[in-house]
Amino acid sequence: MVNRTIIFIFLFALTSCEKELNVVFPYIGDKLIVFAELKLDSPIRAQISKTFNPNESINLNNYIDDLIVLVKKGETIFDTLRYVNNNVYLGNNIVNVAGKYSIIIISKELGEIESEEVETIQPNFNLQVKNNGKVVSKLNPSVKTNRFEIKVFGSVENGYYYKVNVTIPKRITFLRKTPVEQNQEIANECSSFISDLSYIRKSKCVLDSFKISYDIELKYYNEDLKKSIEPDSLIVNVEKFDEEYFKYISGITDNNFLENAFKMPVLFESNFLNGLGIFYPIQSKTIMLYKGKDY
C-alpha cells in the first residue's frame, strides 16, 4: 500500500512538471523589431531583428538580409542607414538640425514599417574633456593608454542616468575604458557604476556638476586592415536619459530582449506602425579628440 502511494505521488509530480514544461508561449507572428536612437550631433543608430516562434526554435539567427532603412525629416528623405554588424545599422549623416524625424524600414519578407515622428531634444548640460597624460594600463600594459577627465556640468538632474561612450568615427567600435576616479562627494552620495561601468545615476545630490576619469586604450582592431591600430580621432559622447530608457538599454545585449519586451505592451509601448520597437530621443553631448593635438 505504501509503495503504491509513493508511486502515485511520483507520477502526479511528474505530470505536474510536464504540464509546466509544455506551456505554450504566445507568438505574435513574423514582425520586425527595432531599437533606434535619435540624438543631436550624431548619426542615427538602429538595431533591427525579427520575431521568432519560441515554441519551435531558438533565436540564434535573427539577421534580415534584404532591409532598406530610411530616415525622414518631415516629408524629406534625410538619410539611408547602412548595415555595420550584429544587426546594427548606422546613418551616414549627422543629425545637426533640430526637428522631427521618423524611420521607415522596408523588407521583402516582412513588409514595411514606419515609426511615429520623434523630435530631437536639446541637451541641458555641457561637457568638457581633459587629457591628463599617459598611464600604464593594468589590463594591457603594452597598449598606449591615456587618462581622460570627463566633466559634466550645467543641469545635472536627480534621478537621471549619464552614459559615457568612447568610439571611433564612422564605426561602431567602442574603445576599452576603465573608470579610475570621480568626485569624492559624487562617489559617496550621488552615483554608482551600473552594468558595464559606464552609467552614473544621480540620486540625492544638489551639485551642478560631476567629474569622472577613465583610462582609455588608444588602439582598436581595424577589420579592413586586419590589425590593431591607433585611431586618428575619437569621439567622447555623454548621453543623459531617464528610467524608462534605461530599461531598454539594459537589455539590448540579449538577442531576444526586444521581442520579449514588446510582447507585453504593459511594459513597453511600441511607436512603430505594423512593427515592434522604439525610436527614442535622448539628450547627448559630443566632443571630438584628434591624434597629435588632444592625445
pLDDT of residue 156: 62
Quickly tell me which residue has 528610467 as its cell. 243
pLDDT of residue 110: 87
pLDDT of residue 269: 74
The one-digit pLDDT tens for each residue of the chain (295 residues) are: 444 444 433 334 434 444 344 444 556 677 888 889 999 989 999 989 887 666 665 555 566 778 999 999 999 999 999 998 888 899 999 999 999 999 999 998 889 999 999 999 999 989 999 999 999 987 789 999 999 998 888 766 667 777 888 988 877 788 888 877 665 444 444 444 444 445 555 555 545 677 788 899 999 888 888 899 999 999 998 888 877 777 666 655 444 444 455 444 334 578 998 888 889 999 999 999 999 999 9
Scanning the chain, the segments in alpha helix (DSSP H) are 2-21, 184-185, 243-251, 257-262
The Cα 157–Cα 125 span in angstroms is 9
Cβ distance 219 to 229 under 8 Å? Answer: yes
Specify the fold of 125-241+285-290. Answer: Immunoglobulin-like (2.60.40)
- 136 backbone φψ class: left, alpha, beta (φ>0; ψ -120 to 50): beta
Long-range CB contacts (within 8 A, 24+) of 247-251: 248/35, 248/278, 248/280, 249/163, 250/195
Quickly tell me which residue has 598611464 as its cell. 135
Which architecture characterizes domain 32-121+245-282 according to CATH? Sandwich (2.60)
Helix/strand number for the chain, H first, E second = 4, 21
Cβ distance 185 to 174 under 8 Å? Answer: no
Domain with CATH 2.60.40 in the chain: 32-121+245-282, 125-241+285-290
pLDDT of residue 89: 94
Residues 6+ away with beta carbon under 8 Å from 181: 212, 213
pLDDT of residue 248: 64
Q: Does pTM surpass 0.85?
A: no
Task: Give SS3 for 21.
Answer: helix
Give the distance, in angstroms, between the CA of residue 30 and the centroid of all CA atoms in the same chain: 24
Quickly tell me which residue has 507520477 as its cell. 11
The Cα 8–Cα 113 span in angstroms is 54
